[in-house]
């Protein structure tokens, strides 16, 4: 269970690369600076893709949770 409270949740379950990252990019643009986006993914590739996206864009990957075949990322908008 995550210790972070998200301002918005994006469920990309069932989608494969590069869709989770593309949808994450679009969703984070709708947030205010400092708000947190929760991204739920079932694509194992997102374990590398989401942190790479954060590094590239400057958003902060606050927490990553792996449970029941899902990868849950908490990203704080810069």
54 tagged catalytic: no
Q: Exactly one of 2, 4, 15, 17 is catalytic; which is it?
A: 17
| CA of residue 60 relative to chain centroid, distance | 10
> 73: helix, coil or strand?
strand
Q: C-alpha dihedral over 8, 39, 51, 61, to 10 degrees?
A: 40
Residues with active-site annotation = 17
């Amino acid at each position: 269970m995550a210790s972070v409270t998200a301002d918005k949740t994006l469920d990309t379950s069932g989608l494969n690369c590069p869709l989770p990252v593309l949808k994450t990019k679009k969703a984070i643009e709708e947030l205010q600076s400092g708000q947190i986006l929760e991204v739920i993914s079932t694509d194992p590739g997102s374990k590398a893709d989401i942190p790479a996206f954060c590094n590239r864009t400057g958003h902060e990957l606050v927490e990553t949770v792996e449970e029941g075949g899902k990868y849950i990322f908490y990203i704080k908008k810069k």
